Structure 1
Amino acid sequence: MAVTSARAGSLSGNARTGLAHSLIPNGQKVNLMTTKAQLLEDSLLVIWNDRNADRRLEAMHKIYAPDIHFYESNAGNAVVGYQEINDLISKLQAEWPLEFQFQLTKPTQVNHTTQVASWVLGPEGLNPVAAGMDVAVIEDELIKSLYLFLDA
């Protein structure tokens, strides 16, 4: 399986359907990055699971820095910027069945400006076709760099 083939899917009822939940009940804005890795969860569950390119692009503006660098492997160059990442997602999603989706396998973690999420990809309730981990570096409350680690 190619490294880039690990990215595709569509949102399920279990996946988040909105962007970063940054309002507490009384309407006061908070920075959830300090308590959990919401940006990285939304990158995976909102952007990478959505098959609508226009919606993905809109979400990227709220989650990614304009010059975000996505590193699929140590061997390749970074995919840079909203449009290049959006094009990559479209290409990869075209290779997978519609029922493929990303699902978190455990709670996301945060350590200062670094966020980590473990995931599987495949049809919900069936054996996954891929598993891995995403690591995000946060700058100015947006994902500046995103690194993919596939499980062997």
Structure 2
Amino acid sequence: MADLKIELARRNLLEVFGERDPEKRAKVIRETYAEDVTFADPDEVVVGWDSLDRKAQGLLDKAPGFVFAPVGEVRVVQDLTMLAWQFGPEDASPVVSGVDICIVADGRIKSLYTVLDA
């Protein structure tokens, strides 16, 4: 089960929030998250697949040419995963970094929290 949780955390970062192709992203969202997923970051809380998709698209639209990259390994404790990441131009220093914390239930991400580094 830990392998599935690690895969979900990585897919969240790279195949959802890092995916610029809307069709690919929508497919992965439906495979990775519970239908009523809750996402919270310092700006807002959104609920559901479509809202999560709009959130990811909005972040990518504001940062053309930026990419997400994991920092370190996914850490797992019971139903919780943590994955540190950085975001910035592909061949330059990151502009922002943070940690995604996921709560997994029934093989899908039920809740997702993004904590930004100071």
TM-score interval w.r.t. the shorter chain? over 0.9
Higher helix share: 2
Q: Which of 1 and 2 has greater Rg? A: 1
1:1-20 CA distance string (max 9 Å, x none): xxxxxxxxxxxxxxxxxxxx
- Counterpart of 1:55? 24
Report the CA distance between 1:31 and its aligned residue: 6.5
Equivalent residue letter for 1:114: L
Q: Counterparts of 1:1-152 in structure 2 under 5 Å?
A: 32-33=3-4, 37-73=6-42, 76=44, 78-98=45-65, 100-152=66-118
- CA distance change for structure 1 residues 127 and 86 in 2, over 3 Å: closer, same or farther? same
Q: Which consecutive residues of structure 2, in runs of 5 or more, have no partner in the other structure?
A: none
- TM-score (normalizing by structure 2): 0.92
Task: Point out 4+ residue stretches in structure 1 off by more than 3 angstroms.
Answer: none
Identity, in percent, stands at 30
| 1:87 Cα offset (Å) | 1.1
Write the distance in 2 (CA, Å) between the matches of 1:31 and 1:103: 21
Structure 1 gap ranges (5+): 1-29
Q: Distance in 1 between matches of 2:82 and 2:41?
A: 15
Residue range with higher mean Cα deviation, 53-62 or 133-142:
53-62
What value does the CA root-mean-square deviation take over the aligned residues? Answer: 1.6
Tell me the matched-pair count.
Answer: 118
